[in-house]
Chain A
């Protein structure tokens, strides 16, 4: 039987997108939360 074709690079690229994308999305959640908390604190200060 023939050996499978060499597609290792494509697999690496695929999983780089999967895990890189997931990390970026989680990071975006953290960044947006931190920004909103700062804004919330400032607005609450303004209200007082």
Chain B
């Protein structure tokens, strides 16, 4: 059966793939090797972009939650779930890549630093969102509970973002200057800064593309669920 594939999505797919290729080339060929940390510093560009994308996903979920509660339109529930799923995925990538970076720089895979702790709490809060949804069969109730949870759960995002600015931490602060006790901070050269900003832009496109695909999947799941309910009635 031929499926309707939006032209805009095809274009977005191609633009995103192109941007990802350019960003990767910039990381490996344009940005210089950092003088102290060596090659592992290059993980930083996509590590920060991943965590940025994760937070963007949670923001989309919170905004969708508000829109759902106002309109009761199930499309916002689909968008909210998509935002959380993508947010969780990129946050997990951020946690793992951060841990890989930390091993040679902090001499440990993990430490209960304020940033790492708040990021873990944030990820677990959204894992609970998925579990909550799994436990509710009635679609309207599930959407309402999910919306409220996504709005309340969003408090963990500014908490995570600001943790390295409010607390004494060894995690470097890229924008705004690091705590003197941080380990692994570095001054960015113009080429590093350009690569960093381009990576953030690229990941924003990656996010938009994946969100569109995930929303389409969510709408299909919704249709299948309605067909099942209709057959059961």
Contact = CB atoms under 8 A, between A and B. Distances in A.
B93 A17 contact: yes
Q: How many B residues touch the partner, as a band?
A: 35 or more
Interface in B128-153: none
B35 interface: yes
Interface residues of A, number: 29
Among the interface residues B46, B216, B231, which one has the most CB atoms of the partner chain A within 10 A? Answer: B46
Contact of A43 (B36, B93, B100, B224): B224
| Main DSSP-derived SS at the A contact region | helix
Contact of A37 (B35, B100, B220): B220
Nearest to A38: B224
Contact of B35 (A1, A7, A18, A33): A1
B40 A36 contact: no
B1 interface: yes
Interface string B38-81: 11111100110010000000000000000000000000000000
A4 B37 contact: yes
A36 B217 CA distance: 8
B96 interface: yes
Nearest to A41: B1
Interface of B: 1, 3, 33-43, 46-47, 50, 89, 92-93, 96-97, 100-101, 103-105, 206, 210, 213-214, 216-217, 220-221, 223-224, 227-228, 230-231
Please list the 6 inter-chain residue pairs (A to B) with the smallest Cβ-Cβ separation, ordered nearest first: A7-B40, A4-B38, A14-B43, A43-B227, A11-B39, A10-B40
Interface of A: 1, 4-8, 10-11, 13-15, 17-18, 21-22, 25-26, 29, 32-33, 36-37, 39-41, 43-44, 46-47
